[in-house]
A and B are shown apart, each in its own frame.
Chain A
Amino acid sequence: DAKTTQPNSMESNEEEPVHLPCNHSTISGTDYIHWYRQLPSQGPEYVIHGLTSNVNNRMASLAIAEDRKSSTLILHRATLRDATVYYCILRDSSYDYKLSFGAGTTVTVRA
């Protein structure tokens, strides 16, 4: 399985942007990049996913490097609710139904 590398933790100030990096140097051409986050005492929730082009939705933006070996999840204006664990996951489009979670990045937001 292709693997991802994320920093253990990041800090941000409220209402400032947060840029969460993810390295996936062994990514294959059919791997999609997915992000999930997990609020306390809840199951993970989907944030965003992409293949090659940058993606935007109401929650976040995903910037994908041209060589696809890294990507960045961007939270445009951090709120206290965004302080949680974020997971970067690769899923192969041809067969990969399960999610392979790593340890993720724990985001702290200062008020």
Chain B
Amino acid sequence: GAGVSQTPSNKVTEKGKYVELRCDPISGHTALYWYRQSLGQGPEFLIYFQGTGAADDSGLPNDRFFAVRPEGSVSTLKIQRTERGDSAVYLCASSPDVGGRSYNEQFFGPGTRLTVL
């Protein structure tokens, strides 16, 4: 079946611009996660959705970052006034909402590589 998809695969933008990154989770998965991965480091948690609501956005670095999931499926990560330090790979993952979250494998997309010039 189809896995998690992310678009675009690459995004180059200029400092100060606004960008949107899209995630299509696996069909039927109610949990969705965004992570950010800088070069040479492991992924870092940003935000977690259960259905349409953001259950935990504690990983968002500042108020320039915002994410939505209006219909409980596709999610968009939005970054305002981009800075060079925002350059990273942004990863999306989804998992089924079966009781006992720690059992649930997370399925990751290939990521969007964001470069801010």
Contact = CB atoms under 8 A, between A and B. Distances in A.
Interface of A: 32, 41-46, 49, 85, 87, 91-104
Given A43-B4, A101-B43, A103-B42, A96 B111 contact: no
Contact of B43 (A41, A44, A45): A44
B105 interface: yes
Nearest to B47: A98
Given A43-B4, A93-B102, A96-B102, A101 B110 contact: no
Interface in B67-112: 91-93, 100-111
A99 B45 contact: yes
A92 B106 CA distance: 15
Interface hub of B40, B102, B104, B107 (most chain A Cβ within 10 A): B102
Contacts of A91: 101-102
Of all A-B residue pairs in the complex, the 9 with the closest CB atoms, nearest first, are: A43-B108, A101-B42, A93-B102, A46-B105, A98-B45, A91-B102, A97-B101, A32-B102, A101-B43
Nearest to B92: A43
A101 to B, nearest CB: 3
A87 B48 CA distance: 20
Interface residues of B, number: 29
A95 B91 CA distance: 22
Nearest to A32: B102
15 contacts: A32-B102, A43-B91, A43-B92, A43-B110, A44-B106, A45-B108, A87-B42, A91-B102, A97-B55, A97-B104, A98-B56, A99-B33, A99-B106, A101-B35, A104-B42
A102 B41 CA distance: 7
Interface in B1-21: 4
A75 B28 CA distance: 32
B31 interface: yes
Nearest to A99: B106
A42 B108 CA distance: 8
Nearest to B108: A43
A32 B31 CA distance: 19
